[in-house]
Structures are given as structure tokens and as C-alpha cells.
Amino acid sequence: MADLKVFPNPFVHVDAQGRANGHMQYEPNPRGEPNLRWIGCRCVATRTPELETGERPTGLAEALRKEKHDHHWEYFTEPTQVRPSIYYQRAIQHHDLFPADVATHTYAFGSPDGFIDARVRLAQLAKERGVIPDLEWSGDVAKPEKRDRAAEWAAFVGPAMPAQAKVVAKSEIGH
């Protein structure tokens, strides 16, 4: 069997700021080694020291205690290839991952019946949830300071773009 082609389901989890934050790890390593790689997305983390007293922290523990952490996810615009296994089959069946092609759908469900293109399914979920996930910046030029996320999403999902999906602005999430 050829590798499976999948997209993660960003709508498995929506954070307190209303951003799509669903993510899934690659299959656990059989040797028990940590596996901190994510399928089809990457974590973008920012730390901002927010000291209550305005004083500099005296040590690492105090600094970590007083920092505000913000994590969000950027999703790849191309499917991720993974090796066929029961781990990924169940993830597709439970909609943690979406099949990007008929062969992957057939592997997971035993039949090509009911296949929906992953981009169409993602567009449907964005419409239902009213949220557009962040896409990874993949341009050949430097990342612009101000991005047109709605246009990026429309280019990704094509004609399935939900008109009423909301782009969460930084000002709306406290950035």
C-alpha cells in the first residue's frame, strides 16, 4: 500500500480566542522515544513577560511563572504523507484526519463511497464554525506584516470557500 495522504482537522479543538487549534501527533515511536512532530501543521508559540509588579524576574522559575504563553497552529496547504497503520486508519475514521485522496479514504473505510475532498470538508467546517484556520506562510517572499487571511483561505479551498467564515483579527484575541 502506498503512503496515505491526509490533512489534520483543525476544528477538533477551538481555543478560548476562537481560533482553530486542532492538531495530531505522528504515530508514537515503538521504542517509546518522544515524538513531538505534528501532522500537517506547526505550533507557533509566543511568550510575553507580563509582570504584575513591573519588576524584572529574579530567576527562571519566577520568569516562567509570570510569562503569558500564546500557542496557535498554522496548517500546511499540501497533504502530509504517512505510512498506512491502524493508528492513522482510526484517526481518519474519527475525523481527526481527513483523507486527501480516494485511495486514502478507501484504506480507512474499505470503500471509495462517501469520499469528500479534504479541502471541501475543511471549507464546510469553516462555514459551520465561522472560523478560518491560519495557513502556514509558504510564499517565496518575506512574510508580509499584514496578511489577507481570507484570501489565503479562499485560494486554499477554492470554490468551496464559505462566505460567512470569520477571520479572527489579532485585536479580537488580545494580541
pLDDT digits (tens, 9 = 90+) for 77-104: 899 999 999 999 999 999 999 999 999 9
- Total-model pTM: 0.73
How confident is the model over 106-124, as a mean pLDDT?
A: 92
Q: Which long-range CB contacts under 8 A does 151-160 form with residues at least 24 apart? A: 153/126, 156/77, 156/119, 157/119, 157/120, 157/122, 157/123, 157/126, 158/119, 160/119, 160/120, 160/123, 160/124
To the nearest 10°, the Cα dihedral for 117, 121, 123, 126? -160
| pLDDT given at position 59 | 60
Angstrom distance (rounded) from CA 99 to CA 22: 16
How confident is the model over 9-15, as a mean pLDDT?
A: 88
Q: What residues are paired with 82 via a beta bridge?
A: 4
| Of 172 and 53, more confident | 53
Mean pLDDT for all residues in the chain: 77
Could you tell me the pLDDT band of residue 56, with boundaries at 50, 70 and 90? low
The helix/strand/coil state of 165 is coil
Angstrom distance (rounded) from CA 30 to CA 10: 26
Per-residue cell: 12: 477538533
Cβ neighbours for 4, distance < 8 A, ≥ 6 positions apart: 81, 82, 83, 84, 88, 92, 99, 103, 104, 107, 108
| 68-77 per-position pLDDT tens digit | 667 778 899 8
| Amino acid present at 52 | E
- What's the DSSP call for residue 74? E
